[in-house]
Amino acid sequence: MPKRFRLTRRVALAMTEDGYRRLRRFAQDAGLDEGEALSFLFENFESVTDADNLGHRLRLFNSDLEDRKK
């Protein structure tokens, strides 16, 4: 029997405009709302990310982060 899908956690989060636009586009393409899309991404994180590429992309993001906060 499939696990019941309930959105039981609410979190306040801050996102970049680019990140939010990408989330909305992904959710729309998948026929989900933003909360369902985030749940899908995090429940399936290992299978939807490339482990080799993730570390590299994270280093790039972190190296640019302080400049983007200004």
23-44 pLDDT, tens digit each: 999 999 999 999 999 999 999 9
Does 52 map to a domain?
Answer: yes
Q: How far apart are CA 31 and CA 36, in angstroms?
A: 9
Q: Among positive and negative, which fits the CA dihedral 66, 67, 69, 70?
A: positive
Q: What is the pTM of this model?
A: 0.77
| Residue 11, pLDDT score | 85
The amino acid that residue 49 corresponds to is T
Residues 40/51, Cβ–Cβ less than 8 Å: no
Q: How many domains does the chain have?
A: 1
Q: For residues 52-60, give the mean pLDDT.
A: 91
The answer to whether position 49 is within a domain reads: yes
**Average of per-residue pLDDT across 53-59:** 92
C-alpha 62/C-alpha 60 separation (Å) is 6
Per-residue pLDDT band for 1 (boundaries 50, 70, 90) equals low
Domain containing 52 equals 17-69
